[in-house]
């Protein structure tokens, strides 16, 4: 649906976009995730034909965005970082103006505008001047203009920035609704936003794509270990020997607890190892009650911070993954033989 190939955008000697390549398939919600200055807006402006790339190309449904802009742009609706709304128009006037620009046939215009106003819930605002709308409603008008013409792909640059929490939830819901009938690409510097809405995340840092996968796989890939924190009451010797009989731990550490007669135990286990039940029964069997048990696994937030601060980590992870694949391939081969 969209192919981005070796995109580079230079401003002087700075590369805002640095050899970016990816493919967007139909029917998913994609998230561009990256800190401010990562190159998200620049990439989106190039993909939508608002900005020329220094190198590389963008194909929309096979059409080069620069060589066949009309064909390519027909497939795209775009809400840039600053919504292109005219403050002195009413909502209705503005949407009619956009429909005309997008060459929506006259006979279809009114129905389409009514339907889209209904969809983004601005029907009551039709006769209001845009300058008198709240930021949340202005953003809905921005969304409406992107949806006019029902393009296959809707690109939204930081669609919830500057909105209050209630408006953010409403816009997210709206994006999910739009995602049922359109391919959506949205950008955000907030991880929770992207993981709440998107099926697929592309992490961008310093103009480079440093990771792209489903939210689940991204956290899975980076999960090194689980941590289990416990406070156990009882004699230290008993506790230590009992834990020593449980296999599957990477590391264990004991310290005196703030609670009288208790030991704080911290355990690291490999991913996919969960010893909680076994520990519960063992300690119960020795009359050593567990007063606290807390299980943590690395969150996607940690992954994002780690990746954007230390992109080399990903290469290491990739190499590990490649080695694992080689192992599997070798195993499969030996089975065949």
Q: Which of 34, 83, 179, 215 binds ligand ADP (CB under 6 A)?
A: 34
By a kind-dependent CB cut-off of 5 to 8 A, residue 179 interacts, out of Mg ion, ligand ADP, none, with: none
CA-based nearest residue to 20, from 34, 318, 28, 29: 34
HSE-up of residue 193 (Cα within 13 Å, Cβ side):
24
CA–CA gap between residue 140 and residue 118 (Å, rounded): 11
Q: Which two tokens stand for residue 303?
A: 């992954």
Nearer to Mg ion, 1 or 161 (CB): 161
Q: Does 41 bind ligand ADP (CB under 6 A)?
A: yes
Q: Which does 203 bind (CB under 5 to 8 A by kind): ligand ADP, Mg ion, none?
A: none
State in angstroms the smallest separation of the CB of 81 from ligand ADP. Answer: 7
Q: How far is CA 240 from the centre of its chain?
A: 43
- CA distance from start to end of the chain: 41
State the binding string over 21-50 for Mg ion (x if CB under 5 A, else -).
-------------------xx---------
Instruction: Determine which residue in the list 39, 142, 151, 215 makes contact with ligand ADP, applying CB under 6 A.
Output: 39
Asked whether position 37 contacts ligand ADP by CB under 6 A, the answer is: yes
Minimum CB separation of residue 19 from ligand ADP in Å reads 14
Question: Which one of the spans 37-45, 195-203, 218-226, 288-296 is the region binding ligand ADP (CB under 6 A)?
Answer: 37-45
CB atoms within 10 A of CB 253: 10
3-state secondary structure of 173: helix
Q: Which stretch binds ligand ADP (CB under 6 A): 31-39, 177-185, 247-255, 315-323?
A: 31-39
- Binds 245: which of ligand ADP, Mg ion, none (CB < 5-8 Å by kind): none
Minimum separation from the CB atom of position 138 to ligand ADP (A): 20
Restricted to residues 241-280, the positions that interact with Mg ion (CB under 5 A) are: none
Residue 39 site contact among ligand ADP, Mg ion, none (CB < 5 to 8 Å, cut-off depends on kind):
ligand ADP
Contact status, residue 178 vs residue 131, Cβ threshold 8 Å: no
Work out the number of other CB atoms within 10 angstroms of the CB of residue 243: 20
Residue 46: closest CA among 98, 14, 102, 4: 4
CA angle at 143 for the pair 72 and 20, rounded to the nearest 5°:
45
In the set 29, 30, 40, 92, which binds ligand ADP (CB under 6 A)?
A: 40
Smallest distance from the beta carbon of 34 to ligand ADP, in angstroms? 5
Query: Least distance to Mg ion from the beta carbon of 81, Å?
Result: 5
Interface pick for ligand ADP out of 38, 79, 156, 232 (rule CB under 6 A) = 38
Which of 40-48, 70-78, 111-119, 242-250 is the region at the interface with ligand ADP (rule: CB under 6 A)? 40-48
- Give min distance, CB of 158 to ligand ADP, in A: 7
The tokens describing 11, both together, are: 């401003």
Q: Which residues of 279-317 are buried (b: 16+ CB within 10 A; e: fewer)?
A: beebbeeeebebeeeeeebbebeebbeebbeeeeebeeb
Q: Tell me the closest approach of the beta carbon of residue 260 to Mg ion, in angstroms.
A: 54
DSSP state of 67: T
Please report how close the Cβ of residue 140 comes to ligand ADP at its closest, in angstroms: 22
11 binds ligand ADP (CB under 6 A): yes
Neighbours of 11 (CB within 10 A): 10
What's the CA gap between 114 and 282, in Å, rounded?
Answer: 66
Grouping H, G, I as helix, E, B as strand and the rest as coil, residue 126 is coil
> Which residues sit at the interface with Mg ion, rule CB under 5 A?
40-41
> Which residues sit at the interface with ligand ADP, rule CB under 6 A?
11, 16, 34, 36-42
């Amino acid at each position: 649906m969209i192919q981005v190939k070796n995109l580079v955008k230079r401003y002087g000697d700075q590369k805002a976009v640095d050899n970016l390549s990816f493919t967007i398939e139909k029917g998913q919600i994609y998230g561009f995730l990256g800190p401010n200055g990562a190159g998200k807006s620049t990439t989106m402006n190039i993909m939508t034909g608002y900005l020329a790339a220094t190198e590389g190309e963008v194909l929309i449904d096979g059409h080069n965005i620069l060589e066949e802009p009309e064909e390519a742009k027909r497939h795209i609706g775009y809400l840039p970082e600053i919504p292109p709304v005219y403050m002195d128009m009413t909502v209705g006037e503005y949407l009619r103006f956009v429909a005309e620009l997008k060459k929506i046939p006259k006979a279809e215009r009114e129905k389409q505008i009514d339907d889209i106003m209904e969809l983004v819930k601005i029907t009551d605002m039709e006769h209001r001047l845009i300058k008198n709308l709240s930021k949340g409603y202005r953003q809905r008008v921005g969304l409406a203009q992107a949806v006019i013409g029902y393009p296959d792909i809707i690109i939204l640059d930081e669609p919830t920035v500057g909105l209050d929490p209630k408006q953010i939830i409403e816009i997210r819901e709206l994006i999910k609704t739009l995602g049922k009938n359109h391919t959506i690409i949205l950008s955000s510097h907030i991880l929770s936003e992207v993981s709440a809405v998107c099926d697929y995340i592309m992490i961008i840092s310093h103009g480079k794509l440093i990771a792209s996968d489903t939210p689940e796989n991204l956290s899975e890939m980076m999960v090194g270990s689980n941590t289990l924190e416990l406070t156990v009451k009882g004699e230290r010797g008993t506790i230590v020997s009992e834990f020593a009989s449980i296999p599957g731990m990477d590391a264990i550490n004991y310290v005196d607890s703030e609670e009288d007669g208790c030991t704080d135990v911290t355990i690291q286990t490999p991913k996919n190892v969960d010893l909680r039940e076994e520990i519960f029964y063992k300690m119960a069997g020795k009359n050593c009650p567990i007063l606290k048990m807390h299980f943590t696994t690395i969150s996607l937030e940690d992954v994002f911070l780690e990746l954007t601060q230390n992109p080399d980590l990903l290469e290491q992870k990739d190499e590990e993954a490649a080695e694992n694949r080689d192992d599997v391939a070798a195993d499969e081969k030996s089975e065949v033989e």
